[in-house]
Amino acid sequence: MVLVFGNKKYLGSKKIADGITAVALYLSVKHYNKNVFRKQKYALEADRYPHDCLELMRSPKEMFYIPLKVALFLSVPDLTPNIGLFWYFFAEMFEHFRFFFICVFQINIFLYTIPLAIKLKEHPVFLIFMQIAIISIFKSYPTVGDIALYMAFLPVWSHLYRFLRNIFLVSCILLACSVLFPVLWHLWIYAGSANSNFYYAITLLFNVGQILLLSDYFYAYLRREHHLSHGLYLQKKDGSEATLVLK
């Protein structure tokens, strides 16, 4: 989301910066894909991977980048309604509880860093994707640009689509919320026929959808890595087909 200050030179420089960022992200992901899938090909040739997982060795599609502005603000003094989780809660908060709940809310951004870094230590790009998504969900003042930034990476993980479980449900939630956001905002602010509870309810649903999306991709990534190491079609000791359950 580009802020307009009446300065055409500023807007022009922003477009140039967005374009450079898009090209840089494209080249970085292209280089990353080339290295990752080269390593996996060598591992397959060295019999480190079962040969029945050959169909998993596909290069993902090229990514797209939506050049939108990203902003981060970690004390919550501004309670202007937005698509985040903070403004409504702290508008209702008693002042003497404020500092405690600010700490509780803000720690969510950092709480998942260590376990994710341990689990994804060999997959730094996917770790970065997960961290960007978590920050965009739990930051104090999220914007559409924050969401667009991590969703721009979704085509990079197109090879995970076959392992996603809730993609239809999540897509419906995000699309419905995107439509209802401006509608409920208009009913509340301009028409006066609704209140903040309507808008905040759709905000909660939107963030639940993002969490489901993120957890689904995390599951799909781990499942694909498991299949690469143990084969695509698992069998029990007696030769019958086994079912994979990730916990």
pLDDT digits (tens, 9 = 90+) for 156-170: 888 898 899 999 999
pLDDT digits (tens, 9 = 90+) for 115-171: 998 999 888 889 989 999 998 898 888 888 888 889 988 888 888 988 999 999 999
Q: Do 83 and 181 form a contact (C-beta atoms < 8 A)?
A: yes
What is the rounded CA–CA span in Å between residue 93 and residue 101?
A: 9
pLDDT digits (tens, 9 = 90+) for 70-88: 333 366 777 788 888 888 8
Tokens at residue 153, please? Answer: 């990476």
**Residue ranges covered by each domain of the chain:** 61-218
Tokens at residue 170, please? Answer: 């999540």
**149 three-class SS:** helix
What is the rounded CA–CA span in Å between residue 119 and residue 114?
A: 9
Residue identified by tokens 């419906």 is 172
Q: How high is the pLDDT of residue 76?
A: 73
Q: How high is the pLDDT of residue 199?
A: 92
More confident residue, 10 or 127: 127
